[in-house]
Amino acid sequence: MSHFTSVQTKINNLMRLEQVLKELNMAYTRAEAGQLVHVKGYLGQKTEAQLVIHASKTYEIGVKVDAETGLCSFVADWEFVEMTAGFNQEEFTRKVNQRYAYHTVKEEVTKRGYTLEEEKVDADNHIHIKVSSWGD
C-alpha cells in the first residue's frame, strides 16, 4: 500500500518556485488566497496543499508551506509519481532546488550591483556563474 510522503526543502518563495516549475515545463495550480488545492495520490487518496504540481494524469505533488517557518515541503505518493511521471523524489527535488538556488543567486547578485558575465553548465550539471562589479 502506498502513502503520501513529505520531503522538506529550503524553498520559501512560492513565486520563485513557480518560475522554476515553468522552466521545467511542469504544470501546476496555485490555491486562491485563503484556500487549499487537493493533491491526488494512490486509490483516490487526497491531501491538501497551497500548490499542486501535476506530475502525471493520476498523481500529483503538493507544495505545503509551514506557517511558522515559511519553508515548503513537497508531499506526494512518490512511488506512483515515479511510475507514472518517470522521475523519482530525489531527482525532482534536486532539479527544483538547483534551479531555485540559481535564481536566488542571480537575484542576489543583481541586488548587490554585480553583473552576470558568464554562465556554464558542466558535465555533472553543476552551474558555474562568473560575475563582476563595475569597479573590477
Where exactly are the structural domains of the chain?
5-97
Using a 10 angstrom Cβ sphere, with 0-12 exposed, 13-18 middle and 19 or more buried, the burial of residue 41 is buried
pTM of the model: 0.85
**pLDDT tens digits, 111-127:** 888 888 888 888 888 88
CA distances to 45, 106, 122 from 48, rounded to whole Å, are: 11, 32, 38
**pLDDT tens digits, 71-101:** 899 999 999 999 999 999 999 999 999 999 9
Cβ(35)–Cβ(21) under 8 Å?
no
Q: What is the pLDDT of residue 110?
A: 86
User: CB within 8 A of 102, min separation 6: which ones?
Assistant: 127
E strand or H helix that includes residue 39: strand 37-40
For residue 48 the three cell numbers come to 491538501
Which residue shows C-alpha cell 527544483?
Answer: 96
**pLDDT tens digits, 54-67:** 999 999 999 998 88
Chain mean pLDDT for the chain: 89
